[in-house]
Each structure stands twice: as structure tokens, then as C-alpha cells.
Amino acid sequence: MGATYRSHIDADIEGKSTFSHVEPLLSSAITDTDGEADFRLPAQATVGVAYQINPSLVIEAGVRWEDWKSFKELRIDLDNPVLGRLSISRHATGSRPGVTILAANIRSIITGPWTWVISMVKMRFPDQPLNR
């Protein structure tokens, strides 16, 4: 049996974007540039158990919670414009911004000359009932 918790992580990343195979008509609008991104990865908590039935078979079950409501958007600020823009941004989790995810996992591991992992995962969003 085990449990983990990881608090949110504030990331500050700087780097260079390099574009290749750019169409000649767009080459003046798409140029290599430096950029940076500041964002927060969500807190996570997990709980799991494992039971070894025999030397070749382990059954595992676990639950993972992720606090995606702390992640608002991914924004990359560019030093030079790309297609006329100095920043590129995407809002969190597509159509579900700011959600908390609950994931359940059941897995069996069969070892021998080959290792087989069989997994079933169910994810729940707040706008979905548990019995779906």
C-alpha cells in the first residue's frame, strides 16, 4: 500500500524555437526566435495497493487526483513575432478548463519470459456522474 502527494510546481522555461521546412512564402513571417513560458503544474495525490497472488501475478489498484483548476493556460512569450504574434497561448484541458480529475486504475502484472500488463482506467470529471 502506498500514497503520494506532490504540491503544484511553478515552472519557468526559456528556450529557442527553430522552424524547418517553412514554405518560402511564409519564411519572412516564421523565423527562429527565443521565448519563455511561466506556468503552474497541478498538485497530485495518489493512493494505491498491490497484492502478489503468486510469484508471477501481481494485482494493483489505485486512485489519482489532479487539481487542474490551478492550471489556467499555457502561454509562450516570443522575442520575435511568429506569424505576426508575440505570444502563443492555449487554455487548460481543452473544453474543461479548471477541472479536478479523479482517475481510478486497476492493473494486473503477469511475469515470466514476457511481462504482461493489463490495465483498466476510469477518469471522472466533475460534470460527469460516477456511474457512467
**Predicted TM-score (pTM) above 0.85:** no
> What are the phi and psi torsion angles at 103 (to 5°)?
-120, 135
Higher pLDDT, 11 or 106: 11
H-run or E-run covering 68: none
Distances (CA, A) of 28 to 19, 25, 82: 12, 7, 9
**DSSP assigned state of 25:** G
* pLDDT tens digits, one per residue of 6-61: 999 999 999 998 888 888 888 888 889 999 999 888 888 888 888 888 877 788 88
How many CA atoms lie within 13 Å of 132's alpha carbon, on the beta-carbon side? 10
pLDDT-based confidence at 68, cuts 50/70/90?
A: confident
| 3-class SS of residue 24 | helix
Cell numbers describing residue 128:
460527469
